[in-house]
Chain A
Amino acid sequence: NAGVTQTPKFQVLKTGQSMTLQCAQDMNHEYMSWYRQDPGMGLRLIHYSVGAGITDQGEVPNGYNVSRSTTEDFPLRLLSAAPSQTSVYFCASSASLHEQYFGPGTRLTVT
């Protein structure tokens, strides 16, 4: 099992550009989520999904879109990147609340 994979590992965007951060898991987990980690801020929940076709907002959803068409994939879209979205992004999946498995992260810089 590859677990949770994220691509790309690094990305630099200009303000206003769009991009999609990819996340995939091969553990057949129903629950997937996206977090961002900023210095001194811990991890903050952006969006989550409890199954294919079902998504909901987390703590900091503004500027981000998600969809969940399959159990395996949960992409995060930035429609118009802003410098405030410079962060490290983590995707996670779980079969239950208790043990969320995190991917290695995507480091995004918006200039």
Chain B
Amino acid sequence: DQQVKQNSPSLSVQEGRISILNCDYTNSMFDYFLWYKKYPAEGPTFLISISSIKDKNEDGRFTVFLNKSAKHLSLHIVPSQPGDSAVYFCAASEMGGGSNYKLTFGKGTLLTVNP
């Protein structure tokens, strides 16, 4: 049973436009969410996170939105740049559940930003 779902395996956008990557989760105990970015032949790197007490977190060109009632989060990248081309993983955890070092990852979305 997949608890974190990224239903779009790939996304292609033009440079300068907005990229929107989506993530859904099923476990209502998840209360902290993260996005990681991964280039080929490298380990994932942390991008941005959001706690369930917020509905938005912004860091430069990256914004994450959380809709708890829909169990949905999204990552917006504006403007998109060719260097953003990578696989993006959504991850979730239960901070208050005693398992707060365990991350559950989605399968990832490959973003391609075309010049």
Residues from chain B with Cβ under 8 Å of A4 in the complex: 43
Interface of B is mostly: loop
Residues from chain A with Cβ under 8 Å of B100 in the complex: 97
Nearest Cβ distance between residue A47 and chain B, in whole angstroms?
11
Contact B43 A97 (CB under 8 A): no
Contact B107 A42 (CB under 8 A): yes
Residues from chain B with Cβ under 8 Å of A105 in the complex: 41-43
Instruction: Look across to chain B and name the residue whose beta carbon is closest to the beta carbon of A107.
Output: B41
Contact B44 A31 (CB under 8 A): no
Contact B43 A44 (CB under 8 A): no
**A48 contacts chain B at the CB level, 8 A cutoff:** yes
Contact with B along A45-87 (1 / 0, CB 8 A): 1001010000000110000000000000000000000000000
Q: A97-B95, A103-B43 are in contact. Are A42 and B108 (CB under 8 A)?
A: yes
**A33 contacts chain B at the CB level, 8 A cutoff:** yes
User: How far is it, in angstroms, between the C-alpha of A102 and the C-alpha of B101 when the chains are bound?
Assistant: 14
Residues from chain B with Cβ under 8 Å of A104 in the complex: 41-43
Nearest Cβ distance between residue B4 and chain A, in whole angstroms?
8
Residue of A42, A45, A102, A103 touching B102 (CB-CB under 8 A) = A45
Q: Which of B90-115 contact A (CB under 8 A)?
A: 93, 95, 100-108
